[in-house]
Amino acid sequence: MQVQRINRRWGEVNLPKIGRVRFRWTKDLPGVTRGGPQGRITGARLVKNAFGWSIVFRTETLLPALRQAHPGPAVGIDRGVTVALALSDGTTREHQPWLSRGEREHLRRLEKKSARQRATRAQGRPQGRPQGRPQGRPVSHRLARTYAQIGRVRAIAKRRALDWQHQTTTELADTFSLIVVEDLKIPGMVRSAKGTIEAPGRNVAQKAGLNRSISGEAWGRGVTLMEYKSAGRGGKVVKVPAAGTSQTCHRCGHRDPAARQGIRFACTDPGCGWAGHADINAAINIEHAAGTAVSGRGDLTVGRSAKRQPPHAA
């Protein structure tokens, strides 16, 4: 590809069938930047989003050998919608809405505008012709501009979500040697509740809103980031079965679905009676289940024993 740095801000690369293309230099590349990381560039791909074209380089770098295991403690993490991340040490990691109030209002108006433009175009069709845009037919220039504006607003939200996830997962990988998360089947969790004509679904609108919230948190991407960051720091990420973690009291082990009410958990066992934050309780149960891991990534010598640990005396 013959990557060459022109100055502090710009570089050039050879692209097949295009030629020499200039790109904005945002990060040091191994083998190109003076004093940069050791390694080489193994490939690249072009990405088009709402902000234009970008080039993503695939690199191979040499990491220093780990002299010792990660010295940090272990932690269980419960992923949610109301609270983004709840940790077994009693802390949480939360974020603000990805879009401000003004940006959300701007997006709402753009979506209403696109609906009006689609309706106006449909009204101009002759009688008997199908409504909407036929598959393969281009949209109008006005509607295409509106779609582009909607895409840019949504791309801003996606960039902010990814930035928060990178910062949060880096902090977690630096702090903890063993990170335990639930083995969630996310595609099944965000499945539509519409049902069929013979058996229509119930609470379809509520389930659709929950699906959007789960997708907006990008749980799977967050675990992927934690896995490779923990492995590079001598830590480990393991996944445990998710059944019962939010319905079981971490102190006495009593399981009752009625014990959880929203974000509050109150044990129904008369001999216990523990009450507290439901997500923190679930995170402690997840940490206790580290001995029943279904998968893991990182240094296998790091962390506590594979045996089940006793419950915390909260």
- pLDDT for the residue 178: 94
pLDDT over 70 percentage in the chain: 86
The arithmetic mean of pLDDT across residues 33-40, rounded, is 79
- pLDDT for the residue 132: 53
- pLDDT for the residue 162: 94
Lowest-pLDDT range, 152-161, 173-182, 297-306?
Answer: 297-306
In angstroms, the Cα distances linking 288 to 76, 249, 268, 309, 312 are: 8, 12, 20, 6, 9
Q: Where are the beta strands (DSSP E) in 10-80?
A: 10-15, 19-24, 39-49, 52-61, 74-79
Lowest-pLDDT range, 46-50, 102-106, 169-173, 219-223?
Answer: 46-50
In the three-class reduction of DSSP (H, G, I as helix; E, B as strand; rest coil), residue 105 is classed as helix
Asked whether residue 314 carries a pLDDT value surpassing 60, the answer given is no
- pLDDT for the residue 306: 37
The arithmetic mean of pLDDT across residues 204-215, rounded, is 86
- pLDDT for the residue 293: 59
User: Using one digit for the tens of pLDDT, what is the confidence trace for 91-143?
Assistant: 999 999 999 999 999 999 999 999 998 887 666 555 545 455 555 567 889 99
Asked whether residue 77 carries a pLDDT value surpassing 70, the answer given is yes
Cβ neighbours for 146, distance < 8 A, ≥ 6 positions apart: 110, 113, 114, 117
Instruction: Indicate the average pLDDT of the chain.
Output: 84
- pLDDT for the residue 239: 93
Asked whether residue 309 carries a pLDDT value surpassing 50, the answer given is no
Report whether 272 contacts 252 (CB < 8 A).
yes
Q: What is the 3-state secondary structure (H, E, C) of 201-240?
A: CCCHHHHHHHHHHHHHHCHHHHHHHHHHHHHHCCCEEEEE
Q: Where are the domains of the chain?
A: 7-63, 72-93+173-314
- pLDDT for the residue 30: 85
Q: What are phi and psi of 50, to 5 degrees?
A: -65, -20
Q: What are phi and psi of 64, to 5 degrees?
A: -65, 145
- pLDDT for the residue 122: 66
In the three-class reduction of DSSP (H, G, I as helix; E, B as strand; rest coil), residue 19 is classed as strand
Report d(CA 71, CA 85) in Å as an integer. 22
- pLDDT for the residue 311: 44
- pLDDT for the residue 297: 60
- pLDDT for the residue 305: 38
Cβ neighbours for 79, distance < 8 A, ≥ 6 positions apart: 85, 181, 182, 184, 217, 219, 222
Could you say which DSSP state residue 198 is in?
Answer: S
The arithmetic mean of pLDDT across residues 190-208, rounded, is 80
Higher pLDDT, 206 or 311: 206
Residue ranges of alpha helices (H) inside 47-140 are 101-123
The arithmetic mean of pLDDT across residues 30-52, rounded, is 84
- pLDDT for the residue 313: 41
pLDDT over 90 percentage in the chain: 44
User: Using one digit for the tens of pLDDT, what is the confidence trace for 278-288?
Assistant: 999 999 999 99
- pLDDT for the residue 66: 66
In angstroms, the Cα distances linking 94 to 80, 151, 182, 217 are: 10, 25, 18, 11
Report d(CA 297, CA 238) in Å as an integer. 6
- pLDDT for the residue 312: 45
- pLDDT for the residue 148: 92
Q: Rounded to an integer, what is the distance from CA 245 to the centroid of its chain?
A: 21
Cβ neighbours for 251, distance < 8 A, ≥ 6 positions apart: 267, 272, 274, 311, 312, 313, 314
Report d(CA 47, CA 250) in Å as an integer. 46
**Reduced to 3 DSSP states, what percent helix, strand and coil does the chain have, rounded to the nearest 5?**
35, 25, 45
Report d(CA 73, CA 76) in Å as an integer. 10
- pLDDT for the residue 195: 75
In the three-class reduction of DSSP (H, G, I as helix; E, B as strand; rest coil), residue 291 is classed as helix
